[in-house]
Amino acid sequence: MSTELRTKERPLQTYRVAIAGLGNVGRATANLLLSRRERYRQVYGADVRLVAACGSRSGLRDENGLEANSLGSLEEGLSGPDFIAASSADILIEAGPSDFRTGGPGLAYISLSLSAGRDTIVISKGALVHSGRQLRELAQNSGAMLKLSGAAAAALPTIDLVDHSLKGCKVLRVEGILNATTNYLLDAMMARGIGFDVALREAQLGGFAEADPRNDTQGWDTACKLLILANFGLGANLTMDDLTVEGMQSVTGDRIEAWRSEGLVPKLVGSLTRVDGTFHAGVGIRIYPLADPFANIRGKDKAIRIVTDAMGETIAIGSGKEPLATAAAALKDLEHILTARAAEHVSK
Amino acid sequence: MSTELRTKERPLQTYRVAIAGLGNVGRATANLLLSRRERYRQVYGADVRLVAACGSRSGLRDENGLEANSLGSLEEGLSGPDFIAASSADILIEAGPSDFRTGGPGLAYISLSLSAGRDTIVISKGALVHSGRQLRELAQNSGAMLKLSGAAAAALPTIDLVDHSLKGCKVLRVEGILNATTNYLLDAMMARGIGFDVALREAQLGGFAEADPRNDTQGWDTACKLLILANFGLGANLTMDDLTVEGMQSVTGDRIEAWRSEGLVPKLVGSLTRVDGTFHAGVGIRIYPLADPFANIRGKDKAIRIVTDAMGETIAIGSGKEPLATAAAALKDLEHILTARAAEHVSK
């Protein structure tokens, strides 16, 4: 509150933002950012400009700031980490495709950006899972801020909770419904007593599951988010090999029927447990009684339960609509960067 | 993460803390603070000392820092805002009794502390409800930080959510189960089909409700927390007169029976709705279907639901044990102050 008022009368500080990745989420992020420029001025005394944006093959650049309508006509060839580096961006928002086995295209964008001291907001998970420690070190060495709410279950507060709301407490256990597609499938199966194959086919026809759904249904997406939370939120140092990852393929119509008759609800859950100072992590199906808040996480909602030494159990449930909710998560990171950078300007 | 490592090698910065109010919560806060001194050193490069502590009539002071065992023997007469002012404290934690009709004893402590530029962490609600705007202005004028997680439903993240996790989003609606005693009573009534009077008598005998329970059962405690959230978290400017406050006295055994047969659950809820840019607030009984997470908030747990433009619905549920959870909420505020003040030292 006091920050909001204190910065108002200062001269505007310019922040130049670039966005790498112009799929649904990248475009939603660009549009939301442009729609909030007046807010940035008023609250942070910040003139926020979108100076560059690119997809995998084409992009645009304008030092004075792009407008929403210009994103309709990209120029071939204006793309890649060097294209971003040559723009005058102070802040990169990375929103490309995710591949945790290689780091994906995001890895090169993020590495170069952090090395150059550019504050970096990451939405895709791949690079963070593949090279998290190196990226953290790059940021520490250059003094750049590395933010990743969009990659850690987006609108559901996860890293935020441990890093801000539960600050000072020791996290003992974490349990999360972190993948929307599998929650949607399990919810549909429970509602109608159908098995995995039938539910998946229906969801694919309806556009709620991908043609190759394995990243979701085999638990890898949940595992990625869990690992990012552990490594970036809880100071762990896990790799994918440290996790036991089981998906939801084993959930048959018969098992669904049996659970339902007992008042139980299955969920695909990622969990972390601290044992002797080390976190053990896994992904698999867990069963909850109806009175557990986790049993009532519907459709594409997500949830997390965090148990700490001093604050007991804290649960968060998120149900934002995509891609807007993920865009808003990335731009929450942007405001945290503006807050921190503005504080530096004030005290200089 | 990067802050945690960056500050490690800097010389220790001393922070002198005073605590006003030595009931259960004040003492739990003192003990938790003293038990975390090594953490403050390691994470913030901060030498945090408890230099003064007082109840309503007696207290203690030691510039080199009090220890937990010394709080057993207080000296008569060492108490009051001037006692704290004379103590060299940089930070005040106020944990006294709450009275929203007068501001309570906390008002004088908090006013003097903020006027003197001392960062102030408030746990009791009374002064914030009674004189919120004046206290905010005192803080702005002196540059002191005013933090109040402990007064806004404590371990349940409320202000944190709107101020950090949902940053940038416009809050459209808030709904909260913010009072533990009434949730405990309603939960007991639902579990056994008994009416308000019977449940209250049982709870009083068991020590779960106060001899004069009206502050809780008539909705005033919920109203205080709601008003603090609105004014300090959402920039509203409400007074108690702006709120419609109804308690739970009207909940009879018959109504409980009827709700139960329909699969509905009553909760005492505080709610805020934004209409044309203005928040309308009220407290009263609301009814939820079993599938709503609010229907499953048990015993002394609390919950909040926040609806925003860009992130949809976010729910948090908290179930920390008192007085530890409230102490931890106040010391979360302390860490946020240490983070902000450390950043200022770094950039100087």
pLDDT digits (tens, 9 = 90+) for A258-302: 999 999 999 999 999 999 989 999 999 999 999 899 999 999 999
pLDDT at A1 over 70: no
Q: Is A277 helix (H, G, I), strand (E, B) or coil?
A: coil
Q: Is A299 helix (H, G, I), strand (E, B) or coil?
A: coil
pLDDT at A346 over 70: no
Neighbours of B236 (CB within 10 A): 18
Average pLDDT over residues A71-76: 94
Q: Does A141 lie in the same domain as A78?
A: yes
Q: Does B247 lie in the same domain as B108?
A: no
What residues contact B137, with CB distance under 8 A and at least 6 apart? none
Tokens, residue A28? 């939603």
Average pLDDT over residues A33-52: 97
Q: Does B343 lie in the same domain as B280?
A: no
Cite the DSSP H helix spans in chain A: 2-6, 24-35, 37-44, 81-86, 106-115, 126-142, 159-160, 180-192, 196-206, 214-217, 220-228, 253-261, 324-347
Report the pLDDT value the prediction gives residue B344, as an integer from 0 to 100. Answer: 81
Tokens, residue A40? 């940035």
Q: How many domains does the structure of chain B reveal?
A: 2
Report the pLDDT value the prediction gives residue A178, as an integer from 0 to 100. Answer: 98
Contact of B340 with chain A, judged by CB distance below 8 Å, is answered with: yes
Q: Spell out a b/e string for A60-93, using b for 16 or more CB atoms within 10 Å of the CB, else e.
A: bbeeebbeeeebeebeeebbbbebbbebebbbbb
Report how far residue B274's alpha carbon sits from residue B287's, in angstroms, rounded to the nearest whole number: 21
Q: Does A303 lie in the same domain as A185?
A: yes
Contact of A292 with chain B, judged by CB distance below 8 Å, is answered with: yes
Confidence tier at A250 by pLDDT (50, 70, 90): confident
Is A2–B139 a contact, with Cβ atoms under 8 angstroms apart? yes
Residue A172 identity: L
Q: Does A145 lie in the same domain as A72?
A: yes
Is B140–A5 a contact, with Cβ atoms under 8 angstroms apart? yes
Mean pLDDT (chain A, rounded): 94
Per cent of chain A over pLDDT 70 is 97
Is A310–B324 a contact, with Cβ atoms under 8 angstroms apart? yes
Q: Does A124 lie in the same domain as A13?
A: yes
Q: Does A212 lie in the same domain as A85?
A: no
Report how far residue A60's alpha carbon sits from residue A10's, in angstroms, rounded to the nearest whole number: 31
Is B164–A161 a contact, with Cβ atoms under 8 angstroms apart? no
Q: What is the pLDDT of residues A193-233, one digit of tens each?
A: 888 999 999 999 988 899 999 999 999 999 999 999 999 99
Report the pLDDT value the prediction gives residue B5, as an integer from 0 to 100. Answer: 46
Contact of B313 with chain A, judged by CB distance below 8 Å, is answered with: yes
Q: Spell out a b/e string for B49-87, using b for 16 or more CB atoms within 10 Å of the CB, else e.
A: bbbbbbbeeebbbeeebbeeeebeebeeebbbbebbbeb
Task: State the best of B135, B164, B190 to mutate against chain A, taking most chain A CBs within 10 Å.
Answer: B164
Q: Which domain holds residue B186?
A: 159-318
Q: Does B55 lie in the same domain as B70?
A: yes
Is A328–B168 a contact, with Cβ atoms under 8 angstroms apart? yes
Task: State the best of B237, B311, B347, B348 to mutate against chain A, taking most chain A CBs within 10 Å.
Answer: B311
Indicate the helix (H) or strand (E) that contains B199. helix B196-206
For B160, the closest of A39, A165, A344 (CB atoms) is A165
Collect the ranges in chain B with pLDDT lower than 70.
Answer: 1-9, 346-348
Q: Does A29 lie in the same domain as A55?
A: yes
Report the pLDDT value the prediction gives residue B9, as an integer from 0 to 100. Answer: 60
Report the pLDDT value the prediction gives residue B347, as an integer from 0 to 100. Answer: 57
- Write out residues 147-166 of A within 8 Å (CB-CB) of B: 155-157, 160-161, 164-166
Q: What is the pLDDT of residues B261-314, one digit of tens each?
A: 999 999 999 999 999 989 999 999 999 999 899 999 999 999 999 999 999 999
CATH number, domain containing residue B284? 3.30.360.10
CATH number, domain containing residue B27? 3.40.50.720
Q: Does A179 lie in the same domain as A36?
A: no
Q: Does A309 lie in the same domain as A165?
A: yes
Q: Does B172 lie in the same domain as B84?
A: no
Q: What is the pLDDT of residues A295-311, one digit of tens each?
A: 999 999 999 999 999 99
